[in-house]
Structure 1
Amino acid sequence: MSERTTFQDQPHRTVLLRNGTVHSPADPFATAMVVENGHIAWVGSEGAADSFADGVDEVVNLEGALVTPAFTDAHVHTTATGLALTGLDLTGVRTLADALERVRAYAAARPADRVLLGHGWDASTWPEQRPPSRRELDEATGGRALYLTRADVHSAVVTTALLDLVPRAREISGYAADAPLTGPAHHAVRAAAYDSVTPAQRAEAQRAALARAASLGIGSLHECAGPEISSADDLTALLALAAQEAGPRVTGYWAEAITSVEGAARVRELGAIGAAGDLFVDGSLGSHTAWLCEPYADLADGAGQRGVCHLDAGAIAAHVIACTEAGIQAGFHAIGDAALSAVVEGVRTAADKLGLARVRAARHRVEHAEMLSPELIAAFAELALTASVQPAFDAAWGGDDAMYARRLGPERARTLNPYAALLRAGVPLALGSDSPVTPLDPWGTVRAAAFHRTPEHRVSVRAAFTAHTRGGWRAIGRDDAGVLVPGAPADYALWRTGDLVVQVPDTRVANWSTDPRSGTPGLPELTPGGPLPLCLRTVVGGHTVYAGPNE
C-alpha cells in the first residue's frame, strides 16, 4: 500500500493556551496548557505560563473557556449519518401523516435520485402505532424506489419499486407482504439501496458527518462497518478521506466473522483494527429482533417471539479464537440477554483454549450490551470485555412508559443499561451514539448516563465523561490518550459553559460539590433539559479541525 500524505503530516505550531480552565488530572487547578509537535507539552498555572509566552508560535487567550479532551464516539456509521444529515431524516417526526408528508416533499425535491434514502422513523412514538404501509409509500413517492430505515436501523420500510430491484428479497427470511423488512431481506434491499449512492454522494455525506462531529467537540470516531451494514468500498473511502482532510480521527472496524489467518489479513487490508463492531449476534428491541431468554411482552409466545439469533456460542468462540491468534480485536453487536449469554459462553470457550490472560489482553468488545444480569456483568469483568454503550438509547426509549417497557414489561426494562453496576465491577466503558440511530451529541450522552431513567444505573458526570473520552481510546488499545497530560496527543476542545462542578449521581446527598479542596477537576453542570456547553474549537493532533463562529 502506498504512503499517503495526511493532514497530520502538516507542520505543527507550538501553542500556549492561557486564562481559562484546563480539565487535567495532572493539575486540578490548571489554567494554561502548551501544545507542541501535536502533543500536550505542559499543563499548569497562569503565573507559570509567562515563562512560555516568548517561545511559542501562538498564544490563545481562553477568556475563561474550559479546555477538555476531545470526545471519542465509540460507535458511529459515518456515511449513514451524513446521508441523514443531508437527506430525508424522520427523527422526531410525531405522526404517521407527518412522516408521509415529509416523504412526499423529499421525493419531489430529489427527482434525479435512483433510490430515495431516508432514516429515523419510530412508530412506537406515533399515535397510530404502526409504520407506513407499502401502498402509502408507493403513493407518496409516485412509485419510485425508497429505502426508509427505522430509528434502530434493524428494519426498514420500502416501496414496491425498490423490491422490484431485488426480486430475491421477497423469497428470503425477513420479508413480509406489508410489514417492515428484517434480517436477510432487509440486508438485501439495503445493499441495493446503498449501491445507488455515487462516490461523490458518499464523500459529501462523509464530510457532512465528520464536520458535524468536529463541531460538537468530537475528535475521534469508531466506524462500525461491515458487509451487512455498509461495504468495503465505503470503509476504505472513509478512512482515506479522514486521513487526507482535517477532521476527527476515524478508527475502522469490519464486522465479518473470521476463522483463519486469511480472514484477519482481509480485515487489515481494509484498514480496520478489528473484526468487530456490528457483527450481529442479534438485532434490536424496537424491531423485535434482539435475542431474548424469555418472550417479548407485547408478542404472543411461540416461534420467533424471542427474537433472532445470528451467531451461536460456537461461532462466537471460533471468531474470538481466530482474532486473538491474529492479534486483532474481536467484537459483537449483542443486545438481548440470550445474545449476551452466547457472547460470554463463546469468549469463555476461547479463553479455555488460548488462556484467560491472552484473551483479556486482546480487549475484545461488545456493542450495546443492554440486557445484562449481575452474572453477565461479572463475566464481562472476568474476560476484560469492553462494553461499548449508548446512553441516549435509555433517554429515548427507557422508563416505565416508553418502548423498552412495552417490549419487555416494566420489570425487565428496568434492568437495561446498568452502567453503575458495570463500573463497580470494573468493566471498561466506552460511550457512543450509534449515529444515526441517535444523534451525535457527546454532552447529551454524558447527561443521559448521569440521569439514567432508572436511578440505580446512574453514574457521575465525571465517570460518564471519562468513558466518553479516555474510555474510547482504551477501547482501541491506547492508554496514553484521551486525557490532557504531558505526552498525550493534543486532541482537545474549547467550551463556553457555566459554572464547573463535581456532580454525583447519589440523590441522597447534595447533588454536586464545588469544594476546591477535593482536588477533582470540575465539569459543566448538567441538568435534565438544561443547556449544554457550546463548542468553540476542536483540535486533533495539534491541528484545528473546527473553529466556531463565536470563538
Structure 2
Amino acid sequence: MTERTNRTVLLRGGAVYSPADPFATAMLVEGEHVAWVGSDGAAQAYAETADEVVELAGALVTPAFVDAHVHATSAGLALTGLDLTGCPSLAEALERISAFARSADDGVLLGHGWDESGWPEGRPPTLAELDAAAGTAAVYLSRTDVHSALASTALRELTEGLAELPGHHPTAPLTRDAHHAVRQAALAHLTPEQRRAAQRAALRRAAELGIGAVHECAGPEISSAEDLAALLALAAEGEGPEVFGYWGELGGIETARRLGAVGAGGDLFVDGALGSHTACLHTPYADAEHTGTAYLTAEQVADHVAACTEAGLQAGFHAIGDAALTTVLEGVRAAADRVGLARVRSLRHRVEHAEALDDKTIAAFAELGLTASVQPAFDACWGGPDGMYVQRLGAERAAGLNPFAAMLRAGVPLAFGSDAPVTPLDPWGTVRAAAFHQTPEHRISVRAAFTAHTRGGWRALGRDQDGVLVPGAVASYAIWEVTDLVVQAPDDRVAGWSTDPRSGTPGLPDLTPGVPLPTCLRTVVRGRTVHQR
C-alpha cells in the first residue's frame, strides 16, 4: 500500500519504546519523521489537527527491526518454492521432492532447507535417489546453510565445466566452486517475473514481521548484479522495507558503486559453513579429517580492505571458522598499517557470521573497529549439547561459538540478522535466541539484543542517529500486540526481569521460551505504512 508521506499521525493509548521518555504512551509523526513523544494527556493538543489518530489500545510501538543479512531472492524462493526446512528424514525429503516435481511447471525447480545432520539416515540423498524423485526435472536444492546443494543430473548437464570445478562430486552434494556454478545455472533460468515475485514475497514477509530495513548481501557467487539491481529498483517503489545492498566481490568497488551498493562486502567468502564442513578451522573437524576450505588469503583481504578504505567504501567478509577469522584479522591489520588505523576504523568494515571467536579475536575486532554482523538463530538451530555444532566440533569447541556477551563487553558493535533463507526472517525470535543462548555465558539482555537488531543495523551503515523513536528521528516503526512488558535479563545473578516502574527503563515483551512472540499490527517505513494487519 502507498500513501502520501507528509501526513501527520498521532499514536496514543499504548506504550512507546523511546529513550526520550521511558513512560511515553503517545507519539506524533509528521511526514517521515518523529515529531514528539510523550503522554496521552499532552497528546490531546495534537489530536484535532492530526490527519490520522491511531488508538493503540495498549499496543507497543518500537523502532522497526533491521535485518542486517538477507538474500531476498533466495528467501522469496524458499517462501514460494520447495521448503525442506524441518524435514524429519531423508525418506520424507524424497517424497516432498517427488510431489513438488510432479506439481511444478517446466524449468528449473528450486528449493531449500534440507539438513541431514538431524535425519535418522544420517546422510543426504544420492544423485540416483534425487533423480528418481525428480524425474527429468532440473532441480537445485540448497542445504540449510546454503554452502552445499543437491543438483539433479538435468541441472548438472546445464552447468558448463562442472566436473572440473573444486567441490564437484559425481554422486554427492556439491560444495565450493561446483556449488556456485550450479546455483548460477539455476538462477539464470529464472525469468524477470519469477525473480520479482520472489523478491516481493521476501520483502512482504519482512514487512509483516515489523522489519523496516534489510541489508542484502549479494555477489557474483551468491546471486548476480542483475539480481541486486532488480531488488534495489523494487525497493525504490516504496512498498516495503528499505533495502541496502552489499556487493561481495574481491576488487568489486566499481561494480558496487555502479549498482548503488553501500559496501563492497557482505558474502565475500573467506570460508564456508560448519554444516557443510567448509568453514575453515585451525584444528580438524571432529567428524571429518580436514580443516575446511580457505577461499582468500590475508594478503587478498588486506588489498581489498585497503582499496575500499581509500575509496571511502565499507568492506566486509564472510568468515565463520577460527582460521578464517584469523585470516580476516591479519588482512585488516595489514591494511591498517598501509592506510592508517583511524581510517580503517572509521568505515566500520564488517565480518558476517563471525562465530568461532576467542578472547584474543574479540579484542582484535574491537581494536580494528570491526562490526560483527551475526545471526543468533544459528545457535537456536544448531547449538546446545545435541546440536550440529557438537557433531562438527565436539562439545568444548562448540560451546565457544557465538560469544555475544563477551563481544558486547569488549565493545564490539553487533548487528543482528537472519541470513534468510538460512534461517527464517524472525526478528523477535532472533532477539530471544540471543537472550536465551544455549550456552548461558554467551547470553545478553533482551534490551541489548533488541538494540542490536534495530540501532545495530543502522550503526553498521554508519547512521548512528537512526533506529530510535525520538524527535527528529526517521519514523520507521512497528506496532505490536503484546501481553506483559518487562525489563528482562536472563542472568542467574538477577531476578530475571523487573516490572518496577521506578527503574525508568522502558519495557519490552517477555521473550521467555514458550511465551508467544508479539504479533505485528502495523509496519511503517519513513512515515509510510507498508503492512497493516
Q: By the TM > 0.5 criterion, same fold?
A: yes
Matched with 2:497 is 512
1:202 aligns with 2:195: yes
DSSP-derived class of the 1:117 partner: strand
Select the residue among 155, 160, 181 that pairs with 2:153. 160
CA distance in 2, matches of 1:279, 1:48: 51
Matched with 1:15 is 9
Residue 143 of structure 1, CA deviation: 2.3
Residue ranges of structure 1 left out of the alignment (5+ in a row): 1-5
Matched with 2:380 is 395
Matched with 1:489 is 474
Matched with 2:140 is 147
User: In the TM superposition, what whole-angstrom CA distance separates every residue of 1:47-89 from its partner, at most 9, and x where no partner exists?
Assistant: 1101111221111110110000000000000000000100101
1:380 aligns with 2:365: yes
Matched with 1:253 is 246
Select the residue among 28, 31, 37 that pairs with 2:25. 31
DSSP-derived class of the 2:480 partner: strand
Residue 461 of structure 1, CA deviation: 0.2
Select the residue among 253, 256, 269 that pairs with 1:280. 269
DSSP-derived class of the 1:55 partner: coil
Matches within 5 A, 1:44-59: 44-59=38-53
Matched with 2:282 is 293
AA aligned to 2:257 is R
Matched with 2:448 is 463
Matched with 2:508 is 523
Residue 271 of structure 1, CA deviation: 1.1
Deviation >3 Å, runs of 4+: none
Matched with 1:3 is none
CA distance in 1, matches of 2:409, 2:33: 32
Aligned pairs, number: 533
AA aligned to 1:409 is G
More deviation, 522-531/438-447:
522-531
1:338 aligns with 2:349: no
Matches within 5 A, 1:415-426: 415-426=400-411
DSSP-derived class of the 2:48 partner: helix
DSSP-derived class of the 2:162 partner: helix
CA distance in 1, matches of 2:493, 2:11: 39
Matches within 5 A, 1:208-223: 208-223=201-216
Native 8 Å contact 2:228 2:245 kept in 1:
yes
CA distance in 1, matches of 2:160, 2:457: 41
DSSP-derived class of the 1:179 partner: coil
CA distance in 1, matches of 2:49, 2:329: 54
Native 8 Å contact 2:428 2:518 kept in 1:
yes
Matched with 1:183 is 176
Matched with 2:222 is 229
CA distance in 2, matches of 1:372, 1:285: 14
CA distance in 2, matches of 1:434, 1:448: 14
User: In the TM superposition, what whole-angstrom CA distance separates every residue of 1:211-243 from its partner, at most 9, and x where no partner exists?
Assistant: 000000000000000000000000000000000
AA aligned to 1:136 is E
DSSP-derived class of the 2:27 partner: strand
Matched with 1:428 is 413
AA aligned to 2:6 is H
Native 8 Å contact 1:12 1:543 kept in 2:
no
Matched with 2:255 is 266
Fraction of identical pairs, as percent: 69
1:78 aligns with 2:63: no
1:67 aligns with 2:56: no
Residue ranges of structure 2 left out of the alignment (5+ in a row): none
Matched with 1:92 is 86
Native 8 Å contact 1:7 1:243 kept in 2:
no
Matched with 2:523 is 538
Native 8 Å contact 1:276 1:331 kept in 2:
yes
Native 8 Å contact 2:466 2:474 kept in 1:
yes
Native 8 Å contact 2:2 2:530 kept in 1:
no
CA distance in 2, matches of 1:393, 1:231: 25
User: In the TM superposition, what whole-angstrom CA distance separates every residue of 1:66-113 from its partner, at most 9, and x where no partner exists?
Assistant: 00000000000000000010010100100111101110111011132x
Residue 508 of structure 1, CA deviation: 2.9
Select the residue among 388, 399, 419 that pairs with 1:414. 399
CA distance in 2, matches of 1:228, 1:91: 23
Native 8 Å contact 2:5 2:32 kept in 1:
no
Matched with 2:333 is 348
CA distance in 1, matches of 2:56, 2:475: 16
CA distance in 2, matches of 1:336, 1:278: 14
CA distance in 2, matches of 1:7, 1:295: 53
User: In the TM superposition, what whole-angstrom CA distance separates every residue of 1:126-151 from its partner, at most 9, and x where no partner exists?
Assistant: 10110011101111111221111100
AA aligned to 1:63 is A
Matched with 1:472 is 457
Residue 18 of structure 1, CA deviation: 0.4
Residue 20 of structure 1, CA deviation: 0.5
Select the residue among 165, 168, 172 that pairs with 1:172. 165
Residue 505 of structure 1, CA deviation: 2.5
Select the residue among 95, 118, 129 that pairs with 2:111. 118
User: In the TM superposition, what whole-angstrom CA distance separates every residue of 1:375-432 from its partner, at most 9, and x where no partner exists?
Assistant: 0000000111000000000000001211000100000000000000000000000000
AA aligned to 2:142 is T
More deviation, 15-24/348-357:
348-357
User: In the TM superposition, what whole-angstrom CA distance separates every residue of 1:456-511 from its partner, at most 9, and x where no partner exists?
Assistant: 00000000000000000000110111010111110000000011000013113211
CA distance in 2, matches of 1:376, 1:538: 38
AA aligned to 2:349 is H
1:324 aligns with 2:309: yes
User: In the TM superposition, what whole-angstrom CA distance separates every residue of 1:432-474 from its partner, at most 9, and x where no partner exists?
Assistant: 0000000000000000000000000000000000000000000
AA aligned to 1:378 is A
DSSP-derived class of the 1:26 partner: coil
1:241 aligns with 2:234: yes
Native 8 Å contact 2:156 2:162 kept in 1:
yes
Native 8 Å contact 1:7 1:244 kept in 2:
no
AA aligned to 2:241 is P
Native 8 Å contact 1:32 1:45 kept in 2:
yes
Native 8 Å contact 1:218 1:538 kept in 2:
yes
Q: Let me know the Cα RMSD of the aligned residues.
A: 1.1
DSSP-derived class of the 1:446 partner: helix
Matched with 2:342 is 357
Residue 167 of structure 1, CA deviation: 4.0
CA distance in 2, matches of 1:328, 1:56: 41
